């Protein structure tokens, strides 16, 4: 039997999206993975985050160090967690089954593929639609005031049209297939370098050259600078926790594991190098020129004199938002919904339901109280980093990168888990999640919460290995007692 030829439950008979990717469909190579995450790096929230680092009093070299160390850790995690998808061609939702069990996989799967993905999809789509409104206004100035005082659930007519238009573009990519996504990211990559590289040059000229930026005097960090730096690294990595977790959804299309791993490592490190230069020069350059740092790249674009440059920049912002939404939200939600209801949904129908749900939560209303939104999302993120740790520990330390594909698609082979749940995996995830988040509620443990990305992964790996060891010892002791009793009975 070949690697992709498996016996599967009847629930997969009419839904082949969740089966291992066929060899002829595994067409992605180094260049695809080199460019795939550029949109996830260069976006408005990322630049605002760097501005926040300078507000803490960090120097430009400390910020540069934070960004580059984060990129190295991130690229390594992407390559490692994408290995199973690259080797076996399986999506994240199915990979969870062999680690957590058929029923146990529901909890982390729902957290990642449904709650986090759908909420982030709605928020990102609404944020991108604001750039669409500005872009259309460049060609038709009255557009933002279209419909006068008319509104729909708090949205004026122009914003509603922009939101639906931007949402429709996402839907088109769902039905266009993964090949269209690969071509799109390769098309986007040169635009990212041109636009954000151009912003960096603009900021340097604005500041009167590179020397004033290099000699920028930081305010100084209050408290332990090492802990602050670790917290900043954790903050960057925390924004990627969902993509790291479900990266097998895209690595399953790779021709070779070397292609996906080298492509992601090279692409992320080089992209973050450009991001480090651009973000630092834009924030510091604008502060030198205007006395106030500009953290939002949309405000930078508004200061451009050339209409062509403005339009190109806005278009790139829209496309980077589209890219991160497809990769980080649509694909995971589509596969997870299809995994929960394999008889009724396939990837496309699941993804479409996810995009509709993203609108139904009315993200424009949620953004009226950002503290509540991001507190909730941070809580979800704190629970997701332990899932990464459990997956890595199980795949690399317990299973030694060897998976029996039959275990993924034939439920009877999962009978070794009690009631379809791998309790060591689920308990390690829940305990590590509680530990990583406890600092939010107990003041003296706040440093643990500030580096929750590291805390969640490290604690979950240790706990999972210990729980597996104790589980095996307990099973061994029970087996010995049963044999002893049988011997006595005989």
pLDDT in tens, 421-471: 899 999 999 999 999 888 888 888 888 888 888 999 999 999 999 999 998
The proportion of the chain whose per-residue pLDDT surpasses 70, expressed as a percent, equals: 86
Q: Is 162 helix (H, G, I), strand (E, B) or coil?
A: helix
Closest CA to 416 of 98, 96, 12, 91: 98
pLDDT at residue number 121: 85
Query: With 80 as the cut, is the pLDDT of residue 405 above it?
Result: no
From 68, 64, 451, select the one nearest 238 (Cα to Cα). 451
**Is residue 398 scored above 50 in pLDDT?**
yes
Residue whose entry in the numeric block shows the structure tokens 């034939």? 410
Question: What does the pLDDT average to over 304-313?
Answer: 83
Domain ranges of the chain: 17-489
Residues of 254-270 as b/e, b for ≥16 C-beta within 10 angstroms? beebebbbbbbbebbee
Q: Which of 176-185, 320-329, 427-436 shows the lowest per-residue confidence on average (mean pLDDT)?
A: 176-185
Mean pLDDT of the region 168-185: 77
Average of pLDDT values for 212-226? 78
Q: What is the 3-state secondary structure (H, E, C) of 71-110?
A: HHHHHHHHHHHCHHHHHHCCCHHHHHHHHHCCCCCHHHHH
The pTM for the full model equals 0.82
* Residue tagged 């199973």 (tokens): 84
The answer to whether residue 395 scores a pLDDT higher than 90 is yes
Beta pairing partners, 155: 152
Tell me the pLDDT band of 200, cut-offs 50, 70 and 90.
confident
Higher pLDDT, 373 or 420: 420
Range from 143-147, 164-168, 252-256 carrying the lowest mean pLDDT = 143-147
- Contacts of residue 408, defined as CB under 8 A and 6 or more positions apart, other chains included, come to 6, 90, 94, 95, 97, 98
CA distance 378 to 116: 10
- pLDDT of amino acid 1: 38
d(CA 40, CA 250): 14
Confidence (pLDDT) at 460: 95
Minimum mean pLDDT range among 66-80, 334-348, 419-433: 334-348
Query: Per-residue confidence at 484, pLDDT binned at 50, 70, 90?
Result: low
Task: Indicate the range of 158-167, 407-416, 472-481 predicted with least confidence.
Answer: 407-416
**Distance between CA atoms of 378 and 135, rounded to whole angstroms?**
31
pLDDT at res. 272: 93
pLDDT of 389 > 90? The answer is yes
Q: pLDDT at position 441, please?
A: 85
Per-residue pLDDT, averaged over 106-135, amounts to 83
For residue 190, the model assigns a pLDDT of 79
Mean per-residue pLDDT for 236-264? 90
Rounded mean pLDDT, 281-306:
78
- For residue 342, the model assigns a pLDDT of 76
DSSP structure class, residue 23: G
Q: Which of 3, 174, 11 is nearest to 90 (CA)?
A: 3
Alpha carbon 486 to chain centroid distance? Answer: 53
How confident is the model at residue 255, as a pLDDT? 92
CA 60-64-68 angle, to 5 degrees, is 175
CA-to-CA distance for 158 and 148, rounded, in angstroms? 9
Is residue 487 predicted with pLDDT exceeding 80?
no
Average pLDDT over residues 389-410: 85
Q: How many residues does the chain have?
A: 490
Q: Which residue has the higher pLDDT, 184 or 10?
A: 184
- The DSSP output letter for 20 is P
**pLDDT of res. 236:** 87
Q: Which residue has the higher pLDDT, 80 or 41?
A: 80
**Beta strand pairing status for 151-152 and 155-156?**
antiparallel
* Confidence at 266, pLDDT banded by 50, 70, 90: very high
Domain 17-489 sits in CATH at 1.10.4160.10
CA 484, CA 451: separation in Å to the nearest integer? 49
Mean pLDDT, the chain, whole residue set:
82
């Amino acid at each position: 039997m070949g690697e992709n030829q498996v016996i599967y439950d009847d629930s997969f008979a009419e839904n082949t999206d969740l089966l291992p990717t066929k060899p002829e469909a595994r067409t992605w190579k180094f260049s695809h993975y080199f460019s795939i995450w550029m949109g996830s790096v260069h976006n408005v929230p990322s630049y605002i985050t760097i501005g926040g680092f300078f507000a803490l009093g960090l120097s430009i070299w400390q910020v540069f160090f934070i960004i580059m160390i984060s990129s190295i850790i991130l690229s390594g995690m992407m390559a490692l967690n994408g290995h199973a998808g690259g080797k076996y061609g399986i999506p994240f939702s199915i990979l969870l089954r062999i680690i957590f069990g058929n029923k146990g996989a529901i909890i982390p799967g729902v957290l990642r593929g449904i709650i986090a993905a759908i909420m982030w999809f709605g928020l990102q789509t609404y944020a991108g639609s604001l750039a669409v409104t500005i872009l259309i206004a460049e060609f038709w100035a009255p557009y933002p005031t279209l419909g006068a005082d008319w509104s729909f659930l708090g949205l004026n007519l122009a914003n509603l049209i922009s939101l639906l238009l931007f949402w429709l573009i996402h839907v088109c990519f769902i039905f266009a297939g993964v090949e269209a996504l690969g071509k799109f990211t390769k098309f986007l990559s040169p635009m990212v370098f041109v636009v954000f590289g151009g912003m960096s040059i603009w900021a340097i000229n604005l500041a009167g050259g590179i020397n004033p930026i290099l000699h920028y005097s930081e305010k100084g960090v209050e408290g332990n600078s090492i802990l602050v730096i670790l917290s900043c690294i954790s903050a960057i990595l925390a924004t990627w926790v969902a993509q790291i977790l479900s990266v097998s959804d895209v690595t399953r299309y790779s021709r070779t594991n070397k292609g996906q791993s080298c492509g992601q490592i090279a692409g992320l490190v080089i992209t973050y190098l450009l991001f480090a230069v651009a973000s630092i020069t834009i924030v510091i350059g604008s502060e030198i020129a205007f006395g106030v740092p500009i953290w939002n790249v949309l405000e930078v674009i508004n200061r451009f004199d050339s209409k062509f440059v403005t339009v190109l920049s806005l278009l790139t912002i829209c496309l980077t938002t589209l890219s991160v939404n497809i990769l980080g939200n649509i694909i995971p939600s589509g596969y997870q919904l299809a995994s929960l209801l394999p008889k009724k949904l396939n990837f496309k129908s699941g993804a479409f339901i996810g995009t509709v749900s993203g609108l139904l939560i009315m993200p424009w209303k949620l953004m009226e109280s950002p503290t509540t939104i991001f507190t909730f999302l941070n809580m979800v993120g704190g629970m997701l980093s332990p899932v990464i740790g459990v997956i890595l520990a199980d795949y690399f330390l317990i299973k030694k990168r060897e998976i029996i594909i039959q275990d993924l698609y034939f439920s009877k082979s999962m009978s070794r888990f009690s009631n379809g749940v791998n309790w060591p995996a689920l308990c390690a995830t829940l305990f590590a999640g509680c530990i990583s988040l406890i600092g939010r509620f107990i003041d003296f443990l706040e440093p643990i919460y500030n580096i929750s990305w590291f805390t969640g992964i490290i604690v979950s790996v240790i706990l999972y290995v210990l729980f597996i060891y104790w589980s095996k010892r307990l099973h061994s002791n029970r087996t010995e007692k049963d044999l002893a009793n049988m011997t006595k009975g005989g």
